[in-house]
Amino acid sequence: MLSYSDDIVLKIASIFAAAIALEASVEGKPTTVSGSSGLKGLSLEKFILTSTLLTPTYINLINDAVTGKPLRMGRYVLSTISEIVDFKLISTNTALGYLILSIPLAYSVGYLIKDNEVFKPKELPITVVRIYSLRVKKHLSSESSSDLCKALIMVRPSYLGKVYGKIPDINLCVGNGDTSLIDLIGSSRYLDIIMYELYHDYPRTTELSKYLLNTLGNSPLQKVLLDAFLRLSSNVIDSVVLRSRGYSYALIIKYLMRYFNHGLISPKYSSWLRSKCINLGSVADILACSLALALTSIELGE
For 134, residues 6+ apart whose C-beta sits below 8 A from its C-beta are none
- CA–CA gap between residue 273 and residue 236 (Å, rounded): 17
Decide which of 251 and 4 is more confident: 251
Spatial distance between the Cα atoms of 151 and 114, rounded to a whole number of angstroms: 30
pTM of the model: 0.92
pLDDT over 60 at 2, yes or no: no
Contact 173, 167 (CB under 8 A): yes
Question: Would the pLDDT of 1 be above 60?
Answer: no
Q: Give 7-23 pLDDT, tens digit per residue.
A: 899 999 999 999 999 99
Model pLDDT, residue 271: 87
What pLDDT sits at residue 270? Answer: 87
Strand partners, 42: 39
Segment 118-123 shows an average pLDDT of 85
pLDDT digits over 161-182, tens only?
Answer: 444 444 335 555 555 556 888 9
Q: What is the pLDDT of residue 76?
A: 97
Answer yes or no: are the C-beta atoms of 129 and 109 closer than 8 Å. Answer: no
At residue 115, does pLDDT exceed 90? Answer: no
Tens digit of pLDDT for each residue in 204-246? 999 999 999 999 988 899 999 999 999 999 999 998 888 778 8
Q: Is the pLDDT of residue 158 over 80?
A: no
- Report whether pLDDT(70) > 60: yes
Tell me the torsion sign for CA atoms 227, 102, 80, 276: positive
Write the CB contacts of 189 (distance below 8 Å, at least 6 apart in sequence). Answer: 195, 196, 198, 199, 200
In CATH terms, the superfamily for domain 6-300 is Triphosphoribosyl-dephospho-CoA protein (1.10.4200.10)
Residue 67: burial class (beta carbons within 10 Å; 0-12, 13-18, 19+)? exposed
Yes or no: say if 4 and 114 are a contact pair by the CB < 8 Å rule: yes
